[in-house]
Amino acid sequence: MVKRVFSFFILLTLCAGARAGAVSAKAYALVEAETGRLITGANVSERLPMASTTKIMTGLLACESGRLDEEFVVPEEPLRVEGSSMGLVPGERITLRDLVYGLMLESGNDAANTIAYLLEGSIEAFAEKMNEKAENLGLENTHFDNPSGLDGPTHYTTALDLARLGAHAMQNEDFADIVSTWEKRVPYNGIQNGRRLVNHNALLKQYEGTLGIKTGFTKKSGRCLVSCAKRNGVTLVVATLKGPDDWNDHRSLLDYGFSVLRRTRLLRAKPDIQASIVGGVKDTIRCSFDEENLEASLSDKELPQVKTHILLRPFYYAAISKGQKLGEIVFTLDDVVLVSRPIYAAEPVEPISPSKLKGLLRSIFP
């Protein structure tokens, strides 16, 4: 499969003159979630503080740790932190999953620090992991000093990086399930369901199709927000930084995105794909690929620009078994990979027998 790495995406802005309505945010980016390509934005590469939208990365790393259902004892040191809290008590036992609920719904800085200590031993070590992940995702204008989003000298992101981080995080099923939850009951210092957590993301109640993901605010950063919504098969992610009217900004930008993009089949006619065979009873064989749900979220103007790439070797040596993977079919838009599928042999090919091979050679070289 062609690897979808966000750092290699070429930015694509649709209808440069046809933007959403007036946006209050200093910087914003609307991206198509499957590809991470830019639909519209402003100051998308300006480095700005991100406040608690930082917790998207913290929560993602926790969800990817493989330890979500492991129970931990809450240490005292990470609870010495200012700002929002889920009300953790030193010495209480809690699962990592419930910590992530407290992190993403109540925006608990105590949860963020506790996750860092439990998984990596310190704030600094966890921040290193956050930055490693950002680098792996190609988020070149993002740097983390801490897991909570409190202001730091080198704690920054951009609207585009943040939107793409959000799109990537929403691909994790545990993460997506947590941030889509409006209210959750978790234990409080041994009392079952003793702690009530309520999501700060009002769009979950106010905008049809909203899936998550995170709010943020400090005096330095102003209001920050990342949202994800899906309608009619199209999934969008919006990030706004320094947005005093962020709820309305997101409604406007999401409305614009859904008005521009629609779910579209990529194949008008199935291509006839054949592979060349050497040393077999056949010179060529038919190939196939899975055509089901071969779709992408595109504008009407984009569809004619989609290119199909059939990636096969010049030839294959027999024997070939039916269903053997031979290559790949890839659909791209301005070098951004939309969809890729394996190409398989639709029929087997046996190698030519030694006697037939000798006869063939005699006919060629009498």
Catalytic residues: 52, 55, 107
| Whether 103 contacts 116, CB under 8 Å | no
The Cα 344–Cα 335 span in angstroms is 24
Paired strand residues for 29: 41, 239
Distances (CA, A) of 185 to 42, 67, 128, 189, 364: 39, 20, 32, 13, 79
Q: Which amino acid is at 42?
A: A
Torsion of CA 162, 132, 95, 150, to 10 degrees: -50
| Whether 5 contacts 164, CB under 8 Å | no
Distances (CA, A) of 49 to 112, 163, 202, 238, 261: 17, 14, 22, 16, 30
How are beta strands 316-317 and 274-278 bridged, if at all? parallel
